[in-house]
Amino acid sequence: MFGETDHSEPFDINDDRLREECGVFGVLGHEDASALTALGLHALQHRGQEAAGIVTFDRDQFRSERHLGLVGDHFSKAETIQRLSGRAAVGHVRYSTTGETILRNVQPLFAELEGGGIAVCHNGNFTNAMSLRQQLIRDGAICQSTSDSEVVLQLIARSRETKIVDRFIDALTQMEGAYALVALTSKKLIGARDPLGIRPLVLGDLNGTPILASETCALDIIGAKFVREVENGEVVVCSGSGVESFFPFGKVKARPCIFEYIYFSRPDSIVGGRSVYDVRRKMGSALAQESHVPADVIVPVPDSGVPAAIGYSQESGVPFELGIIRNHYVGRTFIEPTQSIRTLGVKLKHSANRPIIEGKRVILIDDSLVRGTTSLKIVQMIRDAGATEVHFRLASPPIRYSDYYGIDTPSREKLLAAKYNMEEMRAYIGADTLSFLSVDGIYRAMGYDGRDNDAPQFTDHCFTGDYPTALTDLSEDRDFVAQPRLVEVS
Ligand code: SF4
C-alpha cells in the first residue's frame, strides 16, 4: 500500500516540518540601531534561514544590506554594521513561501516615494496579493520582486493620501490575509498586525528606545523590556513624539495562529501572554490524558518535541529520557563512497541512545506530523535500537489542510492525514499505536474548555479547514498567467 521506504537515506528530523515564514524587527532612536537589529534577527533566525536584510536611516540617507544566507554569515562582521550607520533600522529574516529565493526578494523592500523613502518588512502572506499585483502591472506598475510583500509598497506609492501613515493604512485596508509588518521612514517606525492578529508582533522598550519584533526572544537578547503585544488590527507609529496607536479596521475578535505555540515560536518567547514552553508542556499533559498507553520510557523527538514530552511524562508518571541524541555539528553532508557507508550516514544527524531504548516500550513524542516521511524513519531507528514497542504521539491534531498565511505547507495531497485514516497512518509510520492531541485537547492546553466553534479563539485551519479570511487568489475564477521572470545569473 505504501511502497518501499529506503531507510538507508540520511535524514534530518526537521525535514518534515511546517516552515514558518519570516521574522521582523525594528528600532527607532538608538546609536547602535543596526547592531541591535542584527542581534534581534539572530534571535529570530528560527523564523527564516534563507536570507536576511537590514535597512537603516542615517540623517539623510537610507542604507541597505541584504544577503542570502544566515544572519551570522553576513551581519556579524563589524565593518558591515559600521556601513549600516544610523539611529533607526528595520530587519527581516526570510523563509520564502511566495517568490523565489533570489536577492531581489530579500527584505526589507525599499521604495523612494514622494515625501521620502520607506522600507518594509513582512511576516505572513497576503491572500489577494497576486490579484492586486496583476491589476497593478496592468495599470503600469513596475515590480522589482516576485514577492507578495511588494504589493503593499506599490499600494503605498499609489495612495492619494498625503501623510505616510495614512498612505500605509490606505494600502493595508486593501490587503487580505495574514501579516505582521514593520516599516521605516526618515522619521517613523511603523508596526501593523492584520485584523485577526494571525502573525505575532510585540512592542518593547530599550531605555526609552521603542523596539518592534516578531517575538519577545528578540527583545530578551538586547535587554529590552517587553511593553505589550501589538494588538490585532492595530497600527503603531513610533516617532520622536512617542508611540501612537490606530485601529483602522474596526475591532474584530483576534484569532492568532495556534501553530505559533505548537512549533513556530521559540520556547522562551511569551506569545499572547503565554509562555510558549509552558503551553507545549500542557499540550503534552493533555495528550497523556487523552491517549496514554502502558510504557517504560517517554522519548522526545528533539528539539521541538521536548517540552510536550516533559508534560506527558509528568502527567503519565512514565520517566522522560533523551532516547534520541542530536549531533549539532553536521554541517555539509558527508560524501559516502559506498552503499554500506551510505547506510551508516542515516545516523549523521540523529542517533538512538541504545541503553535508554533497548528492551523498552517506548512512547515517542513530537509536536506535529506533516508528510510522515521522517516519522517512519524515526520509528525504524528506535526499533533498530531494540525497543520492544514503539508508540507515536503528536502534541497537535492531524494536519489535513494547507496553510495560505505565511507557512510553507506541502500541498494537500502530500499531507499524510489528508490522505489516510488513523490506522493507515499508523501502518505507514510503522508504530504499534499512533495518536494525535484532539482539537479540543489543544484548546484545553491553552486554558479553554474547548474550541468555541461559533467564535474560535485561534486560527487553526490546518487542522479544521476553517479558513478565517477570504482566499481571493485561490478562488476558482482566478487564472494567473505566469509572466516571464528575470533570473539573476550573477
Ligand atoms: S494553517 Fe492556520 S493555524 Fe496552521 S499554521 Fe497556518 S495560520 Fe497557523
Ligand 1 center to 28 CA (angstroms): 31
Alpha-carbon distance of 461 to 321, in angstroms, equals: 33
Alpha-carbon distance of 246 to 65, in angstroms, equals: 31
Alpha-carbon distance of 107 to 231, in angstroms, equals: 24
Is 216:270 a contact under the CB 8 Å cutoff? yes
Ligand 1 center to 118 CA (angstroms): 29
Q: Which fold has domain 277-455?
A: Rossmann fold (3.40.50)
Q: Considering only CA atoms, which residue is closest to atom 3 of ligand 1?
A: 460
H or E element at residue 282: helix 276-291
Q: pTM, whole model, 2 decimals? A: 0.91
Q: Considering only CA atoms, which residue is closest to atom 8 of ligand 1?
A: 257
* Architecture per CATH, 22-255: 4-Layer Sandwich (3.60)
Q: Considering only CA atoms, which residue is closest to atom 5 of ligand 1?
A: 259
Domain with CATH 3.40.50.2020 in the chain: 277-455
Strand blocks (E) in 369-437: 389-394, 407-408, 433-436
22 is catalytic: yes
Domain with CATH 3.60.20.10 in the chain: 22-255
420: how many CB neighbours lie within 10 A of its CB? Answer: 17
Provide residues with CB under 6 Å of ligand 1.
Answer: 198, 257-259, 403, 405, 407, 459-462
Give the pLDDT means over successive 10-residue stretches in the chain (490 positions).
51 63 95 98 95 96 96 94 97 79 91 94 94 94 90 96 96 96 97 97 98 98 98 97 95 94 96 98 98 97 95 98 84 54 61 96 96 92 97 97 79 90 97 98 95 93 92 68 57
C-alpha cell at 230: 501589538
Q: pLDDT tens across 218-277, in order? A: 999 999 999 999 999 999 999 999 999 999 998 889 999 999 999 999 999 999 999 999
H or E element at residue 133: helix 129-138
Question: Among 17, 264, 459, which residue has the most ligand 1 atoms within 8 Å of its CB, making it the best to mutate?
Answer: 459
Question: Among 460, 463, 471, which residue has the most ligand 1 atoms within 8 Å of its CB, making it the best to mutate?
Answer: 460
